[in-house]
Amino acid sequence: MEEMGWASGVTRVAVLTGAGISTDSGLPDYRGPQGTWTRNPSLAGAFTEREFLASADMRRQFWREFNALHRADAEPNAAHRALAELDRTGIAIRVLTQNVDGLHQRAGSPDRKVLELHGSFANVDCRQCEQRGTTADALAKVAAGEDDPRCTCGGILKPSIVMFGEQLDSDVLNKARVIAAASQLFLAIGTSLQVEPAASLCALAVGGGANLVIVNNAPTPYDDMAVEVIREPIGTAVPRICRSIAAAR
């Protein structure tokens, strides 16, 4: 890889991560050749709020597939760890993640420095009484034979994630926009940049004067805005980028 001139003097970094950063941890992406939607297009319906809430069959399909979509034994990989290590160097880094797997935090990135734009698979919310519970408890019900797990009040349990057809939490999105606009370097890692409004954070960062660097194995709609597009595997590219930023402080 050529010398990363855009890394020089950077003290404020915003990082937008998508499913591609977690594939080395054994979690599938969504739109790649072996992605969740590519292999099983019908499963997208189970991630659509209206269909999930309206159809018991969709909910059953969701819970049947859950363990394959979100492996409990998945561990942070080199890219997650490199971002956490960069934070420990004193660089002001904020992670804006489209992922719901919690791997950034498990790698050592502080909770307060990770914005989960699309929520988290760790919890479920009752759509009737609004009580929040754990996904582990919901999965225990599935394992016990309850294929459409319900709250103790009888309400539908929905994973605490932003499904298709739902709006992002406005407070979380506004925080992400502030972080993007204030960054000097905006890294987009492992994301197709096809899902809005998260993808538009790239344009917001560039409009504020940041350099945009995209690390992804396929073209994105924002490649033309980037000072560099890196096709190198994420597991090697991200640690190298982080080392360059730390060394060029």
pLDDT more than 90, % of the chain: 82
User: pLDDT of 7-16, one tens digit each?
Assistant: 999 999 999 9
User: pLDDT of 182-234, one tens digit each?
Assistant: 999 999 999 999 989 999 999 999 999 999 999 999 999 999 999 999 999 99
Per the annotation, the verdict on 118 as an active-site residue is yes
The domain covering 1-27+75-118+168-249 belongs, at the CATH homologous superfamily level, to TPP-binding domain (3.40.50.1220)
> Please, which pLDDT band fits residue 30 given cuts at 50, 70 and 90?
low
For residue 28, whether the previous peptide bond is cis, meaning omega lies within 30 degrees of 0, is no
pTM above the 0.85 mark?
A: yes
Token digits of residue 166: 């739902």
Residue 126 is classified by DSSP as E
79 vs 95: CA distance, rounded Å: 12
Catalytic-role residue among 70, 80, 104, 118: 118
What is the residue extent of each domain of the chain? 1-27+75-118+168-249, 33-69+122-161
Domain 33-69+122-161: top CATH class: alpha beta
How distant, in Å, are the alpha carbons of 34, 118, 207 from that of 41?
A: 12, 20, 36
14 vs 87: CA distance, rounded Å: 11
Contact yes or no for 135/55 (Cβ under 8 A): no
Angle at 41 between CA 202 and CA 215, to 5 degrees: 25
